[in-house]
Structure 1
Amino acid sequence: MGIMSKILGGSGNRSVDDYVELDLDDFAEAHAETGMQVHIAEIGDQSDIIPIKDAVYDGDFVIADITRHSTSDRTIEHIVDELRQVAQEVDGDIVQKGDDQIVVTPTGVSVSREKL
């Protein structure tokens, strides 16, 4: 049995009528209601945190790449401190994932510290 047969439920004898087309207008309306977006950022220096802070204050989720800095770098310590303050101000969350990413969330969004 091929992989597509397994995905499609075994027989592989599906027709177009077996699928439902998703209405992207419904998605756009849901997004407009929540207004939350996920941003990917790269932190090279202190000035790169300004748009990250703005995004979190606006209610967005940010995943920031910090690979340009070592975790013992004092610059990254200052950056993390500033982003931690933003997360506290908006009642969001901040976590560092390994040595290469920081995740900052907006109001009411927390990051689980347990892996799935």
Structure 2
Amino acid sequence: MGLMDKLMGGTGTRSTDEYVELDLDDFHTESGTPGTQVRIANIGGQDDVIAIKDAVYDGDLVIADITRHTTSDRTMEHITDELKQVAREVGGDIVQKDDDQIIITPTDVTISRTKL
């Protein structure tokens, strides 16, 4: 029985023999470090934007928690404008998810506006 058969079919019971351990080294770039990373950030104030901008310029995707601010907050408007500019500069994307998160992507990564 092949791996796909094991994953898709079977009797409904699984043994540890049916699982394949994945080696993370197989997923790293030749330099030995991961390529694009998903980074998590909290935006408490204007100072937090610097690290987010650096991460996006470095090619990482950032999910930022903005629960400390309301979307109509003046500070949040300035932060959002700065992050939009970064997304434009790198050719990435930016969306606000509900009232608590902003997602900023690096070059050539877009965010679908439709849910799965």
Tell whether the structures are fold-level matches, with TM greater than 0.5: yes
Q: Once the two structures are aligned, what percentage of the paired residues are identical?
A: 65
In structure 2, the residue matched to 1:75 is 75
TM-score norm. by structure 2 comes to 0.83
Rounded Cα–Cα distance in structure 1 between residues aligned with 2:11 and 2:83: 49
Rounded Cα–Cα distance in structure 2 between residues aligned with 1:64 and 1:31: 28
In structure 1, the residue matched to 2:13 is 12
Pair 1:40 & 2:37 matched: no
Rounded Cα–Cα distance in structure 1 between residues aligned with 2:31 and 2:64: 22
In structure 2, the residue matched to 1:62 is 62
In structure 2, the residue matched to 1:3 is none
Call closer, same or farther: CA 1:95–1:32 in 2, change over 3 Å: farther
Call closer, same or farther: CA 1:9–1:29 in 2, change over 3 Å: farther
Call closer, same or farther: CA 1:34–1:14 in 2, change over 3 Å: closer
Structure 2: where are the runs of 5+ without partners? 1-7
Rounded Cα–Cα distance in structure 1 between residues aligned with 2:31 and 2:61: 13
Rounded Cα–Cα distance in structure 2 between residues aligned with 1:13 and 1:90: 46
Rounded Cα–Cα distance in structure 2 between residues aligned with 1:106 and 1:11: 41
Residues paired across the two proteins, number: 109
3-state SS in 1 of match to 2:44: coil
More helix by share: 1
In structure 2, the residue matched to 1:93 is 93
Shift of 1:22: 1.7
In structure 1, the residue matched to 2:3 is none
Call closer, same or farther: CA 1:50–1:68 in 2, change over 3 Å: same
Shift of 1:85: 0.2
In structure 2, the residue matched to 1:109 is 109
Structure 1: where are the runs of 5+ without partners? 1-6
